[in-house]
Amino acid sequence: MNMEDLKRSSLVEMETKEENDTERKGNPTPELTTYGGIKLGWIQGVLIPCLLNIWGVMLFLRISWIVAQAGVALTILIVLLSALVCVLTTLSLSAICTNGQVQGGGVYYLVSRSLGAEFGASVGIIFACANSVAASMNTIGFCESLNELLKSNGLKIIDNDVNDIRLVGTIALLMMCLICAVGMDWETKTQNFLITVIVVAIAAYVTGAFIGPTSGVQQAQGFVGINLETAAINIWPDFRHSDGVNHNFFTVFAMFFPAVTGVQAGANICGDLKDPATAIPKGTFLALAISFTSYLAMSVLCGTGALRDASGNLQDLVNNKLDSCKPNCLYGLHNNYSIMQLMSLSSSFIYAGCWAATLSTALTNLLSVPRLIQALGVDRIYPGLIFFAKPYGKHGEPYRGYVLTFLVSLLFLLIANLNTIAPLITNFYLASYALINFCTFHAAFIKPISWRPSFKYYNTWLSFVGFVLCIAIMVVVSWVTALATLFVFIALYLLVLYRNPEGVDWGSSTEAHRYMELVWALVQASRPTHSTQSGQSAQAAHSARSYRPQLLLLAGRPPARAQLLHLAHLITKVGSFVVVADITESPLSYTEKTSRKQIGESWLRSRKIRGFYTLLDGFSFESGVRALIQSAGLGKLAPNIMLIGYKSNWMKDQPDSLRSYVRVIQLAFEHHLALAVYRASSEALRRRANKIVLRAREAAASPLARPQADIMNADSNLDISNTEGEKDDKTQLTNYGMEDMTKSLILKESNVSQTQLKSPSAEISLNTYNFEQPLLSDNENDSLDAWWLYDDGGLNILLPYIIARHKTKIPLRIFALAKAGLQITDAENRMRDLLNKFRIDYSSLTMVQGINKIPTQPSIDFFASLVQPVMRNESNECFITEAELDVHRAKTYRQLRLRELLLENSIDASLVVITLPMPRKGAVSPALYMAWLEVLSRDLPPVLFVRGNDSSVLSA
C-alpha cells in the first residue's frame, strides 16, 4: 500500500465533503528532486565523491612540500588537526542530515532549514564561491603536473608556465562542466574510473617507497629510501621563505586544509541520494578514515624516504654532500613538487593519479555549485540567482548555473598560482564548517520539538568545540581574510534579513529560539511586582515611562479602512503594535476564513504595519468586541487603546445598531481601556485637497516661475483627476516639486461618487486614500491641533505628540481650558510648566476661555435641526426626548460652544485631536451622545476623539 493512500483528509475536504485527489495528496513544496533523476546509494553517492574530493591536488603535488616545511611531526599534527575539524563537522553534519527529510541544495539546504534562511543563504553563497575556487585550484594542479611532464620531455605549448596553465585549464574546466551538465549517469561513470586510477597511483607510490631507489640518479635527486637517519633529519620543521611568504605552522596549515574539505561532498548532492539520512554519516566517516590514513602514510613515507634538499649531482652523492647546493638546490622535498613521481614504481602512475585526483575533485566541486545555486533560486532568497535556477530536461539540470560556475572558476583559474589560491579558500571552508557546527549546537541546545535526529552519536558541546575551533583557526591563519569573510557573511546575512523573502518559514532553531525568548519575556513582563505601598508611586512612574500605545483597531477588512490603518500605523511607529479586528456576524467556512486572513495579513505586511490581523466570525458586533477586549493579546502585550471609526450613518441606521455602537464605546471604559474615535468627512478631505492645490498654484505663480497655463480652479465639487488641462497642470506642479503633494490628495471619481462629495456629512470611503497617501504632509503650513479639555492621564496630549513626531515640519498646536478663577497668564504659565515637565514639544499654546458661555443662536438652531429626525415623544433609550434635552441642556450648550471655538481656531488644521466626551451608561441616550460627537466634528478637518482611562501615560 502506498503511504500517500494512508494520508488523512484535509480540513477542507472534511468541511466540503469533496474528494479531490490533488488536495488529498497535499501540495508539497516543489523539490529539486522531482525530475526523475538517478538516485545514488551511500558508496556511489557519498563515499566515492568524498574520497575524490579529499584526494585532491595536495595529495600528489604538495604533501611532500608540506613535510619539508613542517617536518614529519608537525605534518602529522596538521593532518590530525584537520581531521579533528572534519570529524567534528561530520558529526554535526550527520545530525542535521538525519533530522528530517533532506532535499537538494547541499550545505545551504541543511543550514537554512536548521538555523534559518539568513544563515543558510549566507553560508550557501560562501560555500558556492569556495567550491568554485576549489575547482580552479585543482584544475591549476592538473595543469602544473601536465607542465612538469611536458618540461621533462622538452615540450611546451606556449611557455611551460602560467600561459600554458591558463590555456589548458580553460579547456579542462569547460570539458568538466560539459560532463557535469550531460547528467548524473555520465558523471558517475567518470568518477568510478577516476577513483580506480587514484587508488592504483597510491598503491604504486607506497610500493615504490618501500622498495627504495633503483638508481643513483634517484638517490642524487633526493630519494634515498626509508631509513631512520632521514627520518631523524626530517622529523622537525624547517620553515622557509617561499612564494613571497615566510612560512610558519599556520601558513602551512592553510595550504594543506583545502585538501581535506571534501566531507560535504555527499551533502552537496543530498537531493540525488536514495537515503541521505543513512548514506551521509556512513559514507562520510568511512571516507574520512580512508583518506586521512592515506595522508598520514604518505606524509611519513615522504619524511622518512626523501631528503629536503638535493643537488641531483651523482658526484655529490658519492661525496655524501647532496645538500651542498643550499639554498639553490633543484631537487628534494623543498624544491621539487614532483618528487613523488621519483618515489613511485613508475612516474606514469603518479601523473595519472595526480590528474585523476585533481580532475575528480574539480569535477565534484563543479557538480555541487550549480545545484546549490538552483536551491537558492528555487527558494527565491536572492533575486539575482533566480535566473540561474531554471531546470532543464527530465533530470532538472541547472544549465544556467553551470555557466555561472564556469565563469567564476575561470576568473580564479587565470591567477594560475596554486599557492596563492589555496589560503584564500581555507577561510571560506572554515567559515562554512563553523556554521554547520553552530547549527547543530544551537539546535541541540535550544531543543525545539522538531529536533529529533536519528544519528545519536553527536554531542552538543562537541559541536560547540568544532565551531570555536574553526573560528580560532580562521583568525590565526589570517585575521585579514577572516575579517573579509566575516564582512561578506554579514552583508549576505543582512541582505536576506532586510528583504525578508516570503515562504521561508521552515521552523528553524533560530525561530524556536526567538519563540522561547518571546515566551520568557512575556512571562517575566507579566509577573506582578510585589511593591510596598511607599513604592507604588515609583511603580506608577515606571509604568508611565514604559508606556506604549497598543491598539485594538476595529477596522473590518484592512483594504476598506486604509486611512484608519494609516493613523494606527503613525501611532504605533514608536515600537508598539496594532491588533486589527475583523468581526462578522455570519459564520465562515474554513476556506473563507483562511482566504480572508491571508488577504488581511498580506495587506498589513505589504504596508509594513507592525500588527496582527484577527478574524471573529459568528459574533455580533458588540459580543465580538467584548470577546476581543477580554482575550486579545498576552500579558502586558494586550491592547490598551481601542480605536474605531466614526459611525457616520447613525441618524439613519437601525436603533439596535446605534445602541450597539455606543455600547462598544462604553465597553472600552468598563474594561479600563482608553478609546479613540476617528472621523474624516468627505468635506474635510475635499477642503484639504483644495488647500494643497491652492498652495501649488501660489508656488507656480511666484516670480521664479516660468510662464505657464493657468492652474485649474478647484472648488468644493471639483474632481481634480477628471478636469481638463490636468496634464499641463501636472507638468507645472512637477517642475516645482509639488506633484507628489497634490497627487496624495486627489479624489478619484471611481472611488467617491459625486453624491458623496456633495454631501457635507457623508463619510468618504476609506478606499479613496491609498495607504501611501498621507494623513499628514510634511509642510509647515499644516498643523496638528490638540484640544486638551480634561485630564485623562495625558493620552490626549501623548497621541498627537507621537503623530507629529513622525512629521518633522508639522507644528503641534495645543489648546487647553483655563480654570475658572485663574488669570489667563497664570493658567498659561502653569500649562507651559506642565508641558515642559513632560518634555512635550509644541509650536504654540492657547488657553481657551469662554467655554461656559451660551452658544450663539445659529449654533442652537443647528443642533435643533440636527436632532429633529431622532426626537420622539415616548421614552426610548435609542431616541431623544424633550425631557432628556432639558436635563442635559448645559452639556449640550458646552458642546455647541466648543464647536464654535473649534471652527474659529482649527478649521485649517490637518488633524484635530479632541478629548472624547464620556458616555455615562444610563445617563444619556445613544442618539444624544452621537449628536454631541456630530456637533464636535461636523464641518471640521479629520477629527480624532481621544479619552484615556485616567492612568498616567506621561512621565516627568
Stretch among 216-225, 504-513, 757-766, 822-831 having the lowest mean pLDDT:
757-766
Check: CB of residue 814 under 8 Å from CB of residue 788: yes
For residues 851 and 206, which has the higher predicted lDDT (pLDDT)?
206
User: Mean pLDDT throughout 823-833?
Assistant: 85
pLDDT of residue 741: 34
Q: Are residues 378 and 464 in the same domain?
A: yes
Closest Cα partner for 50 from 226, 279, 372? 279
- At residue 548 the predicted structure's pLDDT band, cuts being 50, 70 and 90, is confident
242-268: buried (b, 16+ CB within 10 Å) or exposed (e) per residue?
beebebebbbbbbbbbbbbbbbbbbbb
The whole-number pLDDT of residue 761 equals 42
Q: Angle 296-300-304 (CA atoms, 0-180°, nearest 5)?
A: 175
Q: Which residue has the higher pLDDT, 809 or 332?
A: 332
The average pLDDT across 477-488 equals 89
Mean pLDDT to the nearest integer, 634-655: 89
Residues 857, 923, single domain; the answer is: yes
Determine, yes or no, domain membership for 270: yes
Q: Among 635, 668, 701, where does a domain finish? A: 668
Which pLDDT band, with edges at 50, 70 and 90, does 383 fall under? confident
Express each pLDDT in 490-540 by its tens digit. 898 888 878 777 767 676 677 777 888 888 888 887 776 555 454 445 445
Count the helices and strands in the chain (H runs, E runs).
38, 12
- Range with the lowest mean pLDDT among 465-479, 649-663, 710-724? 710-724
**Based on the domain organization, do 75 and 143 belong to the same domain?**
yes
Other CB atoms within 10 Å distance of the CB of residue 606 = 9
Element spanning 659, H or E: helix 655-670
Within 13 Å and on the Cβ side, how many CA atoms surround 507?
7
Instruction: Give a yes or no: residue 737 inside a domain.
Output: yes
pLDDT tens digits along 741-765: 333 333 333 333 344 444 444 444 4
- The answer to whether residue 510 is domain-embedded is no
In a domain, 14, yes or no: no
pLDDT at 734 over 60: no
Tell me what the mean pLDDT of segment 80-96 comes to: 92
- Residues ≥6 apart with Cβ < 8 Å to 726: 712, 720
Q: Would residue 626 count as lying in a domain? A: yes
Helix (H) or strand (E) holding 913: strand 911-915
Q: How sure is the predictor about 206, in pLDDT bands with cuts at 50, 70 and 90?
A: very high
Tell me the per-residue pLDDT of 398-417, one tens digit each, with 9 for 90 and over.
899 999 999 999 999 999 88
Q: Are residues 493 and 556 in the same domain?
A: no
**48 with 120, same domain?**
yes
State the average pLDDT for the chain.
80
Q: Who wins on pLDDT, 694 or 876?
A: 876
162-176, 293-307, 561-575, 690-704: range with lowest mean pLDDT: 690-704
In a domain, 52, yes or no: yes
Query: Could you tell me if 63 and 188 lie in one domain?
Result: yes
Residue 397 pLDDT > 50: yes
pLDDT for the residue numbered 749: 34
Instruction: Give the β-pairing of 943-947 and 674-679.
Output: antiparallel
- Please indicate, yes or no, whether residues 647 and 549 belong to a single structural domain of this protein: yes
* pLDDT higher than 60, residue 766: no
321, 367: one domain: yes
Q: SS3 string of 439-494?
A: HHHHHHHHCCCCCCCCCCCCCHHHHHHHHHHHHHHHHHHCHHHHHHHHHHHHHHHH
- How does residue 30 score in pLDDT terms, banded at 50, 70 and 90? very low
Q: Decide: 682 and 762 in contact? Cβ < 8 Å.
A: yes
The pLDDT score that the predictor gives to residue 746 is 36
| pLDDT band at residue 121 under the 50/70/90 scheme | confident
* pLDDT, position 740: 37
Q: Are residues 885 and 948 in the same domain?
A: yes
Number of domains in the chain: 4
- Average pLDDT for residues 213-220, to the nearest whole number? 90
Comparing C-alpha atoms, which of 850, 854, 853 is closest to residue 817?
Answer: 850
CB atoms near residue 630 (< 10 Å): 10
Residue 901, domain CATH: 3.40.50
* Predicted local distance difference test score (pLDDT) of residue 684: 61
Residue 719 belongs to domain spanning: 681-765
The CATH number of the domain holding residue 291 is: 1.20.1740.10
Judged by average pLDDT, the poorest of 259-268, 342-351, 364-373, 891-900 is 259-268
Looking at 625, 641, 668, the residue that finishes a domain is: 668
pLDDT of residue 692: 55
Statement to judge: residues 705 and 799 lie in one domain:
no
Across 195-316, where does the E strand assignment appear? 241-242, 245-246
**Same domain, residue pair 556 and 416:** no
Q: Does 59 share its domain with 145?
A: yes
Residue 479 resides in a domain: yes
Q: Which has more confidence, 740 or 689?
A: 689
The predicted pLDDT at position 583 comes to: 92
**Contact (CB, 8 A) for 947 and 792:** yes
Instruction: Give the residue, 514 or 676, on which the prediction is more confident.
Output: 676
**What sign for the dihedral angle of Cα 838, 843, 849, 852?**
negative
Across the strands, what pairs with 844? 813
Give the highest mean pLDDT range of 312-321, 522-531, 882-891. Answer: 882-891
Task: Please report whether residue 386 resides in a domain.
Answer: yes
Could you tell me the CATH number of the domain that includes residue 573? Answer: 3.40.50.620
668, 697, 725 - which closes a domain: 668
